Chain A
Amino acid sequence: MTYHQYIFLIPLLPLVAFVVLGLFGRKYFKTSSGAIGTTALLASTVLSLYAAYNYFFVDGKVNGVYQKITAFKYTWLEFAPNVSIDMGAIIDPISVMMLVVVTFVSLMVHIFSLGYMKGEERFATYYAFLGLFTFSMLGLVLSTNIFQIYIFWELVGASSYLLIGYYFDKPSAVAASKKAFIVTRFADLGFLIGILILGFYGGTLDFGTLIERLTSTQSTQFIAITTGSFLGISMLTWGLTLIFIGGAGKSAMFPLHIWLPDAMEGPTPVSALIHAATMVVAGVYLVARLFPIFSMDPAALQIVTWVGVSSALIAAIIACTQTDIKRVLAYSTMSQIGYMMFALGVSGNGGEEGVGFMGSMFHLFTHAFFKSLLFLGAGAVIHLVHSNEMKDMGGLRKLMPITHLAFLVACLAIAGIPPFSGFFSKEEILLAAFESNKIVYGIALFTAALTAFYMFRLYFSIFWNKPAHVHNEHHGEGTVSMKLPLVILTACAVGSGFIPFANYVTSDGVPFLSEMHLTFSIAPVGLAVAAILVAMSMYKKQNERPTKVAAAFGGFYKAATRKFYIDELYLFITKKVIFNLIGRPAAWIDRNIVDGFMNLLALITGAISEFIKGIQSGRVQSYALYFFGGAIGLAAVFIYLWK
């Protein structure tokens, strides 16, 4: 039996956990639900690792090329012959890599939550939702059909909604969950219309066939989609851009990022899973999945590049000013995903041209580990001090030695300091940017320095600086189940960079040799070290420098603290424009004009019937009058008109 035959179990097991815990958890598994969920995930993880081992090292490569294999595929809903939504599983380098990332991080979060969420009233519900999310995310990863990915895309959004709103009696959590769902839904409108466009011209929804048809310049479909245009822009660009809008919404790219910082209202382990390692990279995954088609259209790639690079920069600037540690991490996630996005944008397709693609996937892989580590570390800190604010923290390195070490490693990794994992993946991205576009490279380099600065601002503020007043010191770092994932993820954050990624995950499945250029590394690493030193001078010990620096930036600092007023802009558009100028008039018109018209009709009918009623008065004299009047009228008709 090969791994193809059991690959369906990988998403199915978390689904089973969801159904069992969702239906019976509250009643029968009040305390054991964590163990049930974790066991299911453990099995999924083992299966994924086994599949990855087999695919990458045993039979995935045929004649030196990693194959795209469809493990299974069933027609789910047929619209027309050959146009159908299929449910299936695709096995190729990026899907197998994502399987490992999703199951592994999800497992870590499941284990961590055993301690973190202990004693919660809705413990079973929490694990049920985690199962639902993991199932949806795995389904998304394995999709063989562009509509299948949309289906799981929406499910992922719904489970994210449920998990952000987990503390449902907190109005801020409710608002945040709503915001996340609606903003991504709005972006998905683009995705949906993009699907309709590609489906219409491609004549299929199947990824394989679609890519095949839209990448050969000779095919009738490709000619149709590139010659067809709307507002002077080709339909291919329209389709890809609209799909990218969907991806940008999920991946919190500027200007659709506004939901991500608020999403931190959810339990911290959830943030580690959904809003750091898995769901938010779905947009990157989507572009990677359709990359062969994107590479046929330079205009769409330009959009991907600039959206990615501007998100990376803006998020990094805002991250320097935030004081809520989870929000700093949220903006840093947005910034790092910006890296992955523009890496795809500057990449070519095939061979060494595809170094951007490889770098993007590599960064996605390493980022998943060190970012979930950062979030879980932050979770442990929040668990201890019961606050998200930096000012309530400080000097925690003695109280929580393991968390401290883990956090430090993760910060070094994200800052791109060798030999930690982030260094290697970021290096590939910078290399790709350098070879393609010097401006992008410059911004990316600057952002890398900012990243190092704000991460170490965070690190020093939490673990050094003035000691915080911690009431329950005995609490320490929590249970073993909370420490274990930190240790494992720390090992991954160090080790995952040494994987020769170009040997396994490339844009066309053909491995290539990726060389490290020592001279190229000098600039990013040098800048990062300098930024760390600056952060150290400002935040290691309490001093006046941060306020002075902030004052020096003046209005710009204030604007960055207020997240460049983007939230206010959205609020203005939704509350003032859409509600007041569309919603309210629609409701008013309906009650007063449309319904008023109907009531008027009824009134007129009523009046007419009153009139007719009046005719039937019962008075013989009036009847006689009507009778004679009628007779005379008829006579007149007969005499004058009947010729």
Chain B
Amino acid sequence: MVTRFLWQGMSHTLRLFVLLVLAIGILVPLSNLLLPVDSAFRMPSWAVQLVGKYLCYASLALAVDLVWGYCGILTLGHAAFFALGGYCMGMYLMRQIGTRGVYGNPILPDFMVFLNYKELPWFWHGFDSFWFAAPMIVLVPSVLALALGWFAFRSRVTGVYLSIITQAMTFALLLAFFRNDMGLGGNNGMTDFKDILGYSVQSDTTRAVLCFVSALALAIFLVISAAIVGSRFGKALTAVRDAESRMRFLGYRVERYKLFVFVLSAAMAGIAGALYVPQVGIINPGEFSPGNSIEAVLWVAVGGRGTLIGPVIGAFLVNFGKTWLTGALPEVWLFALGALFIVVTLLLPKGVVGLWNQFMNRSRERRAKAAA
């Protein structure tokens, strides 16, 4: 019932796009698992991992787009929510290592033994169970977003000020997680994961499943976002983006709209981060660096803000470019990234999707003229 309702609420293009995402999530891992090794259509294992990574990035981009593209909140700290979700997953994975660590301590992870911890810090309790870690992945980022948003939106901190606050937040977290006595691995972070839910994180099957789950998560996020954006609530959100004061004068509680979408978006980012960590096999404080958050904003800008398809396309395009350039011409990558920021803001304010729409409109007009 609900699925059908959601499905009908989506535009034709978006429906196709969700199917495309799911198809990637199914076909890429399957080709890796089922086709013979020498087949031309078989995806190598590293490519499956890469696609899985991109899918997580795409979810993060979608989360950023939801607050920036539809609600006008330029967040420069979304990578913090992503990393927090990742750390929750990392803590679960660390506890799964058990006695297989270098020091073979059944309870304490290696870095704690190394730092002379005598017992598990209180916030580590419960993370040995996936069913405790899973809600935490959603809760931790959401609660932070709720606290920050509640303070910020209520006192009407908007625009650039909010951007700077979110950036300061992720910067403060970066500094905090670098500390060894945080009990979260310090600057080395967490790595050397062994199992997730009893399956080895190194095996091809697990990777394939993780890739599929990432695609599924992205598809679900797209459907949820579409439902929100298309609803009355979504229209009000867009109105807040375009004329906040007017909405307030009309009697809308602007801060509640903002807070809801901000928290939802943080939760999405957290889940994306949690799926990201077992696929790349490491989580460290570098994920909190302000540059990461801004890069996520760039994906949205490149794809096209205020569209649901745009961020996904942007995340894939930019990250593909990054993977290729950092391999082929590492010197050029930062130049390219920097130039991309400038070019997109100056020349392509609506991103790739906007460009495509413009192109389609023009050709439609031309056809209409020709018909007339």
A binds B: no
Q: Measuring CB to CB, which residues of chain B are less than 8 angstroms from any residue of chain A? A: none
Q: Measuring CB to CB, which residues of chain A are less than 8 angstroms from any residue of chain B? A: none
